[in-house]
Amino acid sequence: MTPEELRRLAESHEEARPEPRHCIKVCVAAGCLSAGSDRVREALQNEIAQRGLENECEVKGVGCLGLCTAGPLMLVEPDGVMYQRVTEEDAPAIVESLGKKSVEQLVCPSDMSFFTKQYKIVLENSGVIDPEKIEDYIARDGYTALARVLEEMTPQEVIDEITRSGLRGRGGAGYPTGLKWSTVAKAGGSRKFVICNADEGDPGAFMDRSVLESDPHRVLEGMAIAAYAVGASQGFLYVRAEYPLAVKRLRTAIRQAERLGLLGNNICGTTFSFHVDIRLGAGAFVCGEETALIASIEGKRGQPRPRPPYPAEYGLWGYPTLINNVETFANVAPIIRNGGDWFASIGTEKSKGTKVFALAGRVRNTGLIEVPMGITLREIIFDIGGGIPDGHRFKAVQTGGPSGGCIPEQYLDMPVDYDSLAKVGSIMGSGGMIVMDETSCMVDVAKFFMDFCVSESCGKCVPCRVGTAQMYHLLNKITSGEATMEDLALLEELCDMVKYTSLCGLGQTAPNPVLSTLQYFREEYIAHIVDKQCPAGVCQMRQ
C-alpha cells in the first residue's frame, strides 16, 4: 500500500458513513472501564436508539483521556465538552444537551492546567480514535510513516533519522535508541528479531497499558519501521497476561493490519515482510529485564543472564535482537513523519521529546500525562497534578518504581530528565510517579518496595535472592521498633553489596528506595530506631 492508497482509504472511510452531527467519545481504557464506562456507553447508545437519533449521533469507545481520577470520562464533539464522573443515569441529560447548553454539573474544565500543560506525541491519538478501528488510526496519518519508510528511505536513513531525534529508551535506562538500532543493524546473522517489551510491572505504572489499549497500531507501526531498519522479519510483543484488554486490542490490531497488507508478507507491496506474534508474560516482574524476557519467549524459566553479550548481538535463540519498550516504539512513527529535528527540538539537551507518566498517590489529579522532558517536578505535581489534596503537605515523590528513589521537596524545581533524576539518586524508570505527603512513612515506603523485590527476585544470583530478603528483614525490624544502630549499619552495607554484585538490573537497583530515603530522610530511620517512634504514625511499634 502506497501513501497515496492509504490516504484514499482514509478518505473513503470518511465518506462511507454519513458524518453524524455529534460524536460522544467514551473512554474505554482500563481506568474508566473499571469505573463503569462500558455501562455508560451502553446507556448512551440505548438513549440514542430510543430517541431515534442513530444518524445524528455516534457513540464511540476511545482510549485514555488522561484524568483517570475523574472517570468515567467522555468527550462530546464537535462541542468540545468533556464530562467527568458520568453515570448511567446521566445518559438522558447528555443526549438531551447535544448541540445545546452542556450539562453543567458534569463538565470537566478542559482549560485546566492538567490538560493545557501537557504535550502529546505518544498519546496524540489516545482519547481521539477508536483503538479497535484501524481506519481511525489511518485517518490520523497512521501507517504513513511506514509507507514512506518503505517507499523512500533506506534502512540506514531510518536509523539516522532516529539517531538525529535523540530518542532514548523509555523503558527506564534511557539507552540511545538510534545507537541500539544501528548495533542490531550491523550485527551479522541470517535472522534477526524485534521485540516489544510490554511487560510493564512497576507498582503504580500504567503508561504502556494505556498506549496499547488506546492506540495499539502506533506500536505496531513503530515495530515494523524498526524491523525494516535493522533487517528483521519477525517480531514479538511480550505483554503481561494481566493486561487482557491490551492483548485483545493488539490481537485485533494485528489482524486488521495484516488484512490491509501493513503487516505480514510483502508489506505495502514491497519485498519487506514482518510478522508480529504476541507472547504473554506469566506475571514475573523480572521478565521485564531483556535477557529474562528473551528466555521467557524461548519457553525457558524467566531468568536473566549476564551481559555482555547484549541481545543486540546475541538475543532470541542466539540471533541479534532489538528490544525496545512500548513507549519507545510509539515515538517512532511521529519522528519519521515530522523528522528527527522536530523531535530533537522538544525537551532538554540530553533528553529529547516527551515522557508519559502515570501520576498517582497523594495528588488531586491522578492519571496519565505526557509532558515535555525538562518540565519541573513542581509543574507536574502542582500544576498538572493540582497539588496535594486535603490540606496536606508535599513530602516526596517516588519515581522509577522499585528501582527508583524518593525525591524530597528541595528538588521540586529540578528539570525532569534522565540525568537530573539520576543525580538525585532516583531514575526516570518507565514513568511511574507516586506523590507522598506527610502521612507517608519513608521507612515504610522503602519496606514496601523491598517487599516487592523480595517476591520478584528470580532467585538466580545470591545477592539479590538472599540480600533482598535480609534487607527486608532489617527494614521490618526498624519499622517494628526492634532495630539498633548496628542494624542500620548492616542495612547500609547490604545495600552497597547488593547494588554492586547483583546479576541484573532488578538486584542492582533494589537498594535504591532504601538508599534514597536514607539520603534524604535519615532522621526518620533514626526516629524509628532510637526513639522507637514513627513520625508519620504509620508503623506499629512493638512495645
Residue with Cβ nearer another protein (131 or 463): 463
Map grid coordinates 542495612 to a residue. 491
Q: 314 vs 357, which CB is nearer to another protein?
A: 314
* Interacting positions 483-502 with another protein (CB under 8 A): 490, 493-494, 497, 500-502
Q: Which three cell numbers stand for residue 205?
A: 505504572
The 289-318 contact track toward another protein, x by CB under 8 A, reads ------------x---xx-x----------
137 class by beta-carbon count within 10 Å (0-12 exposed, 13-18 middle, 19+ buried): buried
Interface residue with another protein, options 321, 348, 468, 509 (CB under 8 A): 468
**Which residue stretch of 262-270, 431-439, 441-449, 467-475 sits at the interface with another protein (rule: CB under 8 A)?**
467-475
> Which one among 503, 514, 527, 529 touches another protein, defined by CB under 8 A?
503
Q: Give min distance, CB of 254 to another protein, in A.
A: 31
Q: Residue 467 CB, nearest distance to another protein (Å)?
A: 6
Distance of closest approach, residue 422 Cβ to another protein, in angstroms = 13
Number of residues that bind another protein (CB under 8 A): 32
| Binding of another protein by 465 (CB under 8 A) | yes
Q: How far apart (Å, rounded) are the C-alpha atoms in residues 211 and 334?
A: 14
Instruction: For the CB of residue 451, give the shortest distance to another protein in the complex, in Å.
Output: 11
Using alpha carbons, select from 331, 323, 290, 400 the residue that is nearest to residue 166.
Answer: 331
- φ/ψ bin of 432: left (φ > 0), alpha (ψ from -120 to 50), beta (otherwise): beta
Of 9, 278, 344, 466, the one binding another protein by CB under 8 A:
466
Tell me 395's DSSP state: E
User: If binding is defined by CB under 8 A, does position 467 make contact with another protein?
Assistant: yes
Closest to another protein by CB, 49 or 462: 462
CB of 464 to another protein, least distance (A): 8
CB of 256 to another protein, least distance (A): 37
Bridge-based pairing of strands 193-198 and 234-240 is: parallel
Q: Which stretch, 69-77, 87-95, 361-369, 461-469, contacts another protein (CB under 8 A)?
A: 461-469
C-alpha distance across the termini of the chain, in Å: 73
Q: Are strands 74-77 and 432-437 parallel, antiparallel or unpaired?
A: unpaired
- Joined grid coordinates for residue 435: 506523590
Cell of 406: 524518593
Of 165, 321, 457, 512, the one binding another protein by CB under 8 A: 457
455 near another protein (CB under 8 A) = yes
| DSSP-derived 3-state class of residue 230 | helix
- Residues 69 to 88: which contact another protein by CB under 8 A? none
SS3 of residue 329 by DSSP:
helix
Rounded Cα gap, residues 311 and 293, in angstroms: 11
What grid cell was written down for 130?
Answer: 477508536
φ, ψ (nearest 5 deg) of residue 369? -130, 150
C-alpha dist (Å) from residue 453 to 129, 239, 399: 38, 20, 16
Q: Of the two residues 280 and 497, which places its CB atom closer to another protein in the complex?
A: 497
Pick one of 99, 318, 459, 537: the residue that binds another protein (CB under 8 A): 459
Q: Is 473 in the site for another protein (CB under 8 A)?
A: yes
For another protein, the closer of residues 94 and 464 by Cβ is: 464
The separation between CA 22 and the C-alpha centre of its own chain, rounded to angstroms, equals 31
Type of residue numbered 367:
G
CA 534 to chain centre: 34
Instruction: Please state whether 400 falls in left (phi above 0), alpha (psi between -120 and 50) or beta.
Output: left
Give 134 or 284: the residue with its C-beta nearer to another protein.
Answer: 284
Q: Pick from 456, 509, 514, 528 the residue near another protein by CB under 8 A.
A: 456
C-alpha angle 455-456-459 in degrees, rounded to nearest 5: 90
Minimal distance in Å, beta carbon 446 to another protein?
A: 18
Residue whose CB is less far from another protein, 39 or 473? 473
Task: Note the residues at the interface with another protein (CB under 8 A).
Answer: 284, 286, 301, 305-306, 308, 454-470, 473, 490, 493-494, 497, 500-503
